[in-house]
Amino acid sequence: MKYFAAIVVSGLLAIQSSRALADDVPATQPIADVIKPTLVTLDLDKATAAEAFKALQKQSNINPNFAPPDLLDRSDSSISIKVQDRPWLEVLLAICEQAGVAPANYGNNWNITQQGDRRLNARRFVSGPTLIACYNISTDSEIRYGDNAKVNRTITLQGILCAEPTASISGIASVSDIVAIDNLGRRIPSVASGRIMYSSGYDRRDFSISLQPSDDDATSIKSVSGTLLASMLAESDDLKIPDLLRQEGQHFKVRGATFTVNDVRFVGNWYQVEIEVDRGTLPAETVLRLRTNQAPFDPRVEDQQQAGLIRVNQVRTRDDVQTMTLTVRPQNVGNNQPGNDDERPTVNLLWTIPIAYRHVEIPFEFADFPIPR
Amino acid sequence: MKRQPAILVLLCATLSASADPPAAVEPSAEKLIRDLTAADWAQRQQAEDALVLIGMPAVSAINAALAGSTDFEQRDRLQSALARIGREQLLTATRVTIKRRFDRPADAFEALAKAVGVAVEFDGPAAEARAREQADIDLDLNDRPWLESLTETIARSNVNARLDDGRILLLSAPPQAIRRPTHIAGAVSVSADNARRRLATDLATGNTTASLLVRLAAMCEPKVKFKHTSARLVVHKMLDQDGGSILGDAQRAVQLQRESAGRYLCTLSFNAAHNPPSAISLIEGEIVGEVVTRITEARIDDLAALPQTLETPAGPVEVVSLTRSGRSWSLVIQFNRDTNLQQTLSNDLSADSRDGLRILDQNGQAMQAHLSGQNMNQASIDATLTITTSRAESQPASLVWGLASQTRDVRIPFALRDLPLPR
């Protein structure tokens, strides 16, 4: 069982990437405890990429996926890093940069690839277990045709929210309290802030901040600050099903709820696993929220060789019983895999069952955005 | 900004013919039907065209001839004439003549709605209060297309309205932009909504791109309903202020997205990095799509008693269960994989129209629903719909699935002129 301290923060955090703020903006200090990030201490000198990631995994107990699996073997980079008690995300990004690889995250799954998610290479703000990246700024000059036709100008910042695998964000998060200052020191009215649909299966973690300048003589935005509002996992239980693909008919219990593996079927080059949940004493809300397909509810597959991908595909509810269909796509499984018991790969299921969430507020700040002209 | 007068390009002949009494037309139609078997090809073709020009008054004679004809080409031409008459009738503007003074905006809209046989509703109490305020509205509409008359009524009453699922919905907010550059093409109008010049900087690479986006809207009389996702806007010509072509790499065919029933939107986008134009002098193109001419409805009126089978033209649907969680419900339905229901389900749910899947509450009001999950089995598909409501007393009572069982291909040409662009 895991308990995360989820505490509302009332001031700016100092935990930020070196690229988050420009040099001329003074760094800020934390004034209160925050949701605790996974802290890492490393002292590596000219290590190989594989050694560096292995050290990071050992410190954090977090296992990102590497694609292709021999990605690190292909790297001849030399990694030198010395950090003490720094957030996992910050260290991950630093190692990736030196190793010439890049991360991409899908909910709680972090993949390390050659290309990664290029949006994460833009302006980054790491705060505790979360990362906010601003990857695009645009200006729109618009004419609305009609009797009152006039030109309106809007500046839009697009960002993306990520979090450590251990710090699950639930459902809809948002940014608010936006304060934007232009290079002439004037405040730019904020007309909207985005709602973030935090979802693991789909790339919908984007948000946008719309600013409506009254003049067009500003050439850049000196700073944009705001607050991330989110609901984060505070308490959970783990469901472990070893060798999932050979467990048809078996029952597993978590907090009085019974998980039964009804059916395992090979379809194309993936497996379809049907699990029936009789929620028992598990809080109804918890089980019902499984259906939302969102990050905290995604189970993780632990393959002894390498992690595969898994997703909740379908949930049906009748009274207290839910039937879920999972798509399990172990790596290195061909299209013609017959799927009989002998040939099924070993896939261990580790499913974090959420029990309780807490509301958190995390301030962020970015500086010096050019206004496209 | 200059405004170009609307150009009605479709079917004036049909309109004038439709004013003739059927008795006077019938002998002529019968002669033309006989001419469809003439030895001369040109005479046969002219006879078919002439039948189409007569329009609806010729339909009964054509149907009678079809029942008795054994000549292959005559039957073919009769069927062709019927299809052409139907298409043109469908796309012909309903014309309105209202010369009256009204005391309240609501009365003016009701008179207009009566012309096309639709209802007027209010988008909440504030909208109703605004529409029932005392006002002096002088309508002078003389044989004007219905869509143009709607715009004119909005302008004269200063009450905003939109077409919504076969009704005129009066809104509380005042109209902002009424007289957009518009081309009324029969029962469909195409107008320019807005234009944007967008400069975007990728903060990862520092690269800046420039684009121009022009949003066009198509509004249809209630009789014209495009089948889901079938409507496209195809651009043939786009000229800048100097008459040079600015199509370049612009999209030439864009899908029309349904904003509400009767109103569709699309955005034309093109690169504007070099020498962006200051205006568009002409956009010429056409709307292409399938218009629904027949809808078959299947319904279940007691969702409290499940499971039940819904018999749709596309096959049976098992409505398995309905479970509640707070103000949302989960409805599980099951249907065979070999039907085409799965392809239309998402669209049908978002259709907000009679030709779609609707969940109604106990008062017959449509509830919000979306497809939240699908499970593919070997022979069947389980789909879970999540239904939500903001009204505490509201609960799902009926399921109505309207399926387009007959459609007609249409092409509607349009031209828009003189659109200024932002710098």
Q: What is the pLDDT of residues A61-92, one digit of tens each?
A: 777 878 888 888 888 889 999 999 999 999 99
- The pLDDT tens digits along chain B (423 residues) read 333 333 333 333 333 333 334 444 444 888 999 999 999 989 999 999 888 888 777 888 888 888 888 888 998 898 888 877 777 777 888 889 999 999 999 999 999 999 888 889 998 899 999 999 999 999 999 999 999 999 999 999 999 998 876 789 999 988 876 678 899 888 899 999 999 999 999 998 899 999 999 999 999 988 888 887 889 999 999 999 999 988 876 668 999 988 877 889 999 988 887 788 999 999 999 999 998 887 788 899 999 888 899 988 788 899 988 887 767 788 888 888 877 777 677 666 655 566 678 888 898 888 888 887 777 766 788 888 888 877 778 889 999 888 877 888 888 888 999 999 987
Amino acid at A266: F
With CA atoms as reference, report the closest residue to B74 among B107, B35, B132: B35
Q: Does B257 touch chain A (CB under 8 A)?
A: no
Cβ-based neighbours of A93, under 8 Å, separated by 6 or more: A17, A103, A120, A124, A126, A131
Note whether A142 contacts B195, CB cutoff 8 Å.
Answer: yes
Q: Which two tokens stand for residue B415?
A: 């031209």
Q: What are phi and psi of B217, to 5 degrees?
A: -125, 140
Is the distance from CB of A209 to CB of A225 less than 8 angstroms? no
Q: Does A145 touch chain B (CB under 8 A)?
A: yes
Interface test with B, best of A17, A118, A136, A143 (most B CBs within 10 A): A143
Q: Does B201 touch chain A (CB under 8 A)?
A: yes
Number of CB atoms found within 10 A of residue B112's CB: 23
Q: Which two tokens stand for residue B81?
A: 């004439």
Cα distance between residue B145 and residue B158, in whole Å: 20
Please tell me what DSSP assigns to residue A184.
T
- Contact residues, chain A, for B207 at CB < 8 Å: none
Q: Which two tokens stand for residue A67?
A: 């694609």
Is the distance from CB of B287 to CB of B188 less than 8 angstroms? yes
Q: Which residue of B has its CA nearest to A118?
A: B204
A372 vs B196, B201, B422: nearest CB: B201
Q: What is the largest CA-CA distance in chain A?
A: 73
> B-contacting residues of A 104-133, CB under 8 Å?
118-119, 121-123
Q: Does B27 touch chain A (CB under 8 A)?
A: no
Note whether A325 contacts B191, CB cutoff 8 Å.
Answer: no
Note whether A142 contacts B196, CB cutoff 8 Å.
Answer: yes
- Contact residues, chain A, for B1 at CB < 8 Å: 145, 149
Number of CB atoms found within 10 A of residue B341's CB: 22
Specify the residue for token string 């349009």: B414
SS3 of B265, please?
strand
- Contact residues, chain A, for B421 at CB < 8 Å: 143
Q: Which two tokens stand for residue A372?
A: 């496209």
CA distance B304 to chain A (A): 14
Cα distance between residue B172 and residue B337, in whole Å: 45
Cα distance between residue A251 and residue B400, in whole Å: 40
Q: Which two tokens stand for residue A124?
A: 């980054």
With CA atoms as reference, report the closest residue to B415 among B86, B89, B184: B184
Q: Does B177 touch chain A (CB under 8 A)?
A: yes
Q: Which residue of A has its CA nearest to B373?
A: A314
In sequence order, the β-bridge partners of residue B234 are B253, B286
A146 vs B177, B208, B325: nearest CB: B177
Q: What are phi and psi of B242, to 5 degrees?
A: -100, 5
B179 vs A118, A146, A369: nearest CB: A146
Length of chain B: 423
